[in-house]
């Protein structure tokens, strides 16, 4: 058996074309959604991601607001840019690219953001709203994963989901999404303190591997027919190495390629958060 592909690239393209219709409708009411990015320092990877986000915006008709600061910027400099974007009506949502350079403290920066402009869905208020079931922006990678499964017809309702990794962007928050009544999954969160990982993996209908450990998920641990999502990004000789061993494709029913799986979906959901925030504000 060879797993069917959870095609993030094609799915993200479909979502982007749907979003451009919604952006056009907003523009007819005189509203232009605008994504702001704050990039501090000159890490080439971070710059590449930020540029990709602005390219995505151009594709769907969202305006771009780019703010760049040198690696030598002070805490005060970064916080001033955040205050400026909070006050800028052209900026309907924004992200501060993480991680910040050494010496800068990211939590005070994130807490200073206007939660209604949080495009990442990672502001304490956004995570609090998710826990309480109040409408608001949702974390982009978890949202992208749910959307990728939904659009490929993978059953989430009643599924046993095993999540690997307790990072804030994926592992910590995805359980909150998947255990809502509307998703209705049973979620087990595994991490470096989990005693018997294979025991949990073997009963999973859906595996979400977000540990950042190359080839952590082995073919012999995966239940035949399971859906396996590879979120891990490690690099070896310039190439992406995921958390899922390539042999898993022979056992799983569904697999997300990496690259071309969850990454493009994360980007599409950032755009989705911008459009939804603009719609919420317009009372749509
Ligand atoms: N405030 C903030 N928000 C973020 O969302 C955020 C961040 N900081 N810091 C860095 C990480 C990383 N991240 C990725 C998004 C898309 C791909 C992506 O689309 N990757 C392509 C290929 C990438 C390649 O070939 O190098 C793919 O998977 O097909 C990757 C990584 C968002 N991040």
pLDDT(68) > 80: yes
pLDDT tens digits, 25-45? 999 999 999 999 999 999 999
Residue carrying structure tokens 């607001």: 65
Residue carrying structure tokens 């939660």: 115
Q: Mean pLDDT over residues 193-203, rounded?
A: 98
Instruction: Tell me, yes or no, if 102 is annotated catalytic.
Output: no
Instruction: Tell me, yes or no, if 97 is annotated catalytic.
Output: yes
List the residue whose alpha carbon is closest to atom 14 of ligand 1: 263
Is 166 annotated as ligand-binding?
yes
Catalytic residue from among 97, 117, 118, 221: 97
Alpha carbon distance 240, 238 (integer Å)? 7
**CB within 8 A of 2, min separation 6: which ones?**
249, 250
Domain ranges for the chain, please list them. Answer: 29-120, 140-263
Reported ipTM exceeds the 0.85 cut: yes
Alpha carbon distance 96, 164 (integer Å)? 25
What's the pLDDT band for 229 if we cut at 50, 70, 90? very high
pLDDT tens digits, 85-133? 999 999 999 999 999 999 999 999 999 999 999 999 999 999 999 999 9
pLDDT(1) > 90: no
Q: Could you tell which of 35, 241, 259, 269 is best to mutate to test the pocket of ligand 1, judged by most ligand atoms within 8 Å of the CB?
A: 259
Of ligand 1's listed atoms, the one at least distance from the Cα of 120 is 3
> 29-120: which CATH topology?
Rossmann fold (3.40.50)
Give residue 49 CA to ligand 1 midpoint distance, Å. Answer: 6
- Following DSSP, what letter does each residue of 70-131 receive, concatenated? -TT--HHHHHHHHHHHHH-TT-SEEEE-SSPPTT--HHHHHHHS-GGGBSSS-SHHHHHHHH
Lookup: tokens for 260: 């071309």
Fold: same for 29-120 and 140-263: yes
Residues 66, 68, 74, 75, Cα dihedral to 10°: 30
Superfamily covering domain 140-263: NAD(P)-binding Rossmann-like Domain (3.40.50.720)
Lookup: tokens for 160: 């046993």
- In the chain, % of residues over pLDDT 70: 100
Instruction: Tell me, yes or no, if 105 is annotated catalytic.
Output: no
Write down the pLDDT at residue 179. Answer: 98
Cα torsion angle, 223, 228, 231, 234, sign: positive
Summary mean pLDDT of the chain: 97
Write down the pLDDT at residue 148. Answer: 98
Closest CA to 271 of 106, 61, 123, 9: 61
Entry pTM: 0.96
């Amino acid at each position: 058996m060879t797993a069917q592909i959870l095609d993030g690239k094609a799915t993200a393209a479909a979502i982007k074309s749907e979003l451009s219709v919604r952006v056009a409708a907003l523009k007819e009411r005189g509203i232009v959604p605008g994504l702001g990015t704050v990039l501090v320092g000159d890490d080439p990877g971070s710059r590449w991601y930020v540029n990709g986000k602005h390219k995505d915006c151009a594709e769907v008709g969202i305006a771009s607001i780019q703010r760049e600061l040198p690696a030598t910027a002070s805490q005060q400099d970064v916080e001033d840019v955040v205050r400026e974007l909070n006050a800028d009506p052209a900026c309907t949502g924004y992200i501060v690219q993480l991680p910040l350079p050494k010496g800068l403290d990211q939590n005070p920066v994130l807490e200073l953001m206007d939660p209604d402009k949080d495009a990442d869905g990672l502001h304490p208020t956004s995570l609090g709203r998710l826990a309480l079931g109040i409408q608001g922006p949702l974390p982009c990678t978890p949202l992208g994963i749910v959307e990728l499964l939904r659009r490929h017809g993978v059953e989430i309702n009643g599924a046993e989901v095993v999540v690997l990794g307790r990072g804030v962007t994926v592992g910590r928050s995805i359980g909150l999404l998947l255990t809502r009544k509307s998703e209705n999954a049973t979620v087990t969160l595994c991490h470096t303190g989990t005693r018997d990982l294979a025991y949990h993996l073997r009963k999973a209908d859906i595996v979400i591997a977000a540990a950042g450990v190359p080839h952590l998920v082995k073919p012999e641990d995966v239940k035949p027919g399971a859906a396996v999502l590879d979120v891990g990004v490690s690099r070896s000789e310039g190439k992406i190495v995921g958390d899922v061993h390539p042999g898993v494709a022979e056992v799983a029913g569904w697999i997300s390629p990496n690259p071309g799986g969850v990454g493009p979906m994360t980007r599409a959901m950032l755009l989705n958060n911008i459009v939804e925030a603009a719609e919420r504000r317009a009372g749509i």
